[in-house]
Structure formats: C-alpha cells, structure tokens
Amino acid sequence: MHDLTHNFNDCSDVTLDTLLSVLSALSSACYVSLPITQFLTLSPVILDVRSPAEFAQGHIPGAVSMALFSDQERAQVGICYKQEGRDAAVERGFAIAGPKFAGFIAQANQLAPDRQVRLHCWRGGMRSEAVAWVLGMGGFQATTLVGGYKAFRNWALAMPQVPCQVLVLGGMTGTGKTDVLTALAARGEQVLDLEAIASHRGSSFGGLGLPPQPTNEQFENAIALQWSQFDPQRPVWIEAESNRIGCCRLPEALYQQMQQAPVLELVRPQAERLALLVDVYGFASTSDLILATERIRKRLGGLRTQAAIALLQERRLADAFELLLIYYDKAYDYDLQRRPVPIDPVDATGQPPTDVATQLIARSRQLQSGYDPVGQPVRLDTPLANTAVDLPR
C-alpha cells in the first residue's frame, strides 16, 4: 500500500494512458455501482467527493464531504477542459488528485472503521470512480451511486409526489403545535417536522435563536429522505404551514397534499398562548424582537407596530405579543377559510403536549377510514384520481 500511494504521489510523471488503463482494468474489482433506491438502503457512511461548494449547495443528508478537488482545483480542471480538451483535463486532474490519495485512505479509515463506504460525485463519473478505486486498493468495500448526486436529486424531487395519509396539525400562533408534534413522535407517530428541517418557526420571529437555514435544495433533500421512510398506510402528521418557511420553499407536490388533508386544529385560550410565546421568545434581545416586528409593519399597521415596539422596549413581552397576534390570527383565519377540507377543533386548554397527543391519536384513528388504499383523502364530491408515481430507480 505504501508503494501504491508513493507511486500516485508522483503521478505527474505517469502517462495519462497508463493511469486510465490501470483504472479501467482494476475498477470493476474494487467497487460495485447501485441505483439510487438500492444505494439508499445500505448503511455504510456516504462520502461525497464533489467540491466543497457543490456539497454546500445540497447533498444527501448524512453524507460527509471528502472532496477530490477543492473549488479552485475544480475550476482549473474545467478551464483546462475548455481550452485544451478532455485528455489534458484528465491528466491535470490526476496530477492534482494523486498526492491526496494516501490522505483519502487515512480519512476513510477514521470515518469507516469497518472499511465499508458508499460514495458518489455529480454524475457517477470519473471523480467517484477514481476515489472508489483508490479506496478499493486500500482495502475498502466501496459502493458508488449510478448517476451520482444528479440521480439522487431527481429521486428527491419526485418523492413528495408519493401520496401519504397526511394529517395537518393546525392552530393559531402560540397553541404549542411544535411541542405536540414532538410528543406525537415520542409516541411512535410518523411526523414530518418542517420547521425543524427548515431551522425556522415560520413567522417573522421564526429564525430567532436557531441555526442558519439550509439551502432550499438541502431542505428538499431532507424532506424527500424522511418522506421515503414513511409507511403510506399510517398517518403522517405535519404542522400547518404556508408554502414558504423563512427562505425555504415547500415542494409543490407536498404542499398540495397538505392543502387537501384534514386539519386537526389545536385551540387554547389567549392567556395560554401568550405564556407559550413568552416562553419561546423570551430569551431574545429587545433589538432582535423589534427588528422582527418591523418586518411586518405594513401588515400590522403603523400605530400597532409603534405600540408593540414601545412595549418590547419595556420588556412587556406578553402585552407586545398580544398586539402582534392581531395580525397573525387574521392571517391564520384567512388561510383556514381557503382550505376545502374538514377542520376538527381539539381543545388543548390547560393540557400538556403529551395529553394533547393522546387526544390527537384517538381522533386520527377515526379519520383513517376516510382514506383510499394508497393514502389519498377521499372526497365525496370527486372521483379518486390515479395516484401512481413513477420514481427514479
């Protein structure tokens, strides 16, 4: 192994034809390639050998970046390809990557002590083949993804079209929907927590105290992976959302399923809602709360905005939030009236999330008979549509 890595550290002295012939002869013995559906069912760590910028834009959730080229190196190879052609670009790529091969094996040893890895590049081409070959020579059992990350993206974009028995958890701001979703998940219910995936609570105040939001591409990827793991014969609980959570936009197919799903609406008295909001946002600085309030000035109105800001400056948070709820309650009512679906109120007054979850589970059992065998809500005034979805394999 030392001799092998030593030779590749000096790969600039090796002819392109020699490198390619060696790679072609040995690659089939060093790794196997699987389509996306089989690739995702395996358990070994996923190594993403694309550049750091490509990885940051979006990646398979749980994957680890092990870039064959840096962003600058990838640009160099691309320029070489355009100016000098494929052969020169391939040779340039080997010259850049060769000295890194020993490091790839060392990094893989840390990430995969069992010496089994999955890996991919953008299209399942030479980048993943080269790294798979190197790791194979280092004693690893490598599995590459047919079609690369592009194949995963096609799969991820199609996944939300698969119908599930969606139940929407509604309720005005401050009714504790997120805590109830957590309680449902703890009871073994299927939950898609969109706000957790988006790292945003959905309102102008939604980003306070949370990590930066993912890219929209990564948001879609995370949704798709979770969606693929749900049992279509069981309900999937999703909090009522607009089609955008902060800067993350919901996949259209998922949003349409949510719009057509029954709503179980949490109801709490305003005093409880205000106490919950103070508990959630009380940590935030006055300046951050004022900035979030300013963002909805046009919708809240100038006078109410100024009054709310004055209350925030005095740290009278409950009083300030009471003014803000005038806007948020109106927006919620407007959205609810547009939904042509059953809305079932659930009284959560004075109840902890665990007790509310118990109520909701009981209600959901009663609703389950209202779905067809593939999970579409049954509408008495419309025929069932063909719900078959052709997913990339």
Q: Is the dihedral of CA 311, 316, 317, 319 positive or negative?
A: negative
Beta strands 116-120 and 45-48 are parallel
127 exposed, middle or buried (CB, 10 Å; 0-12, 13-18, 19+)? Answer: buried
Q: Are 125 and 363 in contact (CB under 8 A)?
A: no
246: left (phi over 0), alpha (psi -120 to 50) or beta: left
Q: How far apart are CA 306 and CA 312, in angstroms?
A: 10
Q: How far apart are CA 37 and CA 34, in angstroms?
A: 8
Using CA atoms, how far residue 108 sits from 11, 128, 373, in Å, is 21, 14, 45
Q: How far apart are CA 351 and CA 348, in angstroms?
A: 5
248 among known catalytic residues: no
Amino acid at 357: A
Secondary structure of residue 190 in the 3-state scheme: strand
The Cα angle at residue 84 between residues 80 and 87, in degrees rounded to 5: 90
- DSSP collapsed to 3 states, 313-375: HCCCHHHHHHHHHHHHHHHHHHHHHCCCCCEEEEECCCCCHHHHHHHHHHHHHHHHHHECCCC
Using CA atoms, how far residue 112 sits from 28, 52, 68, 103, 173, in Å, is 21, 20, 18, 14, 45
343: its two tokens: 């809305």
51 exposed, middle or buried (CB, 10 Å; 0-12, 13-18, 19+)? Answer: buried
Residue 46: enclosing H or E segment and its boundaries?
strand 45-48
Residue 135: enclosing H or E segment and its boundaries?
helix 126-137
- Catalytic annotation, pick one of 11, 30, 121, 248: 121
Secondary structure of residue 192 in the 3-state scheme: strand
Positions marked catalytic = 121
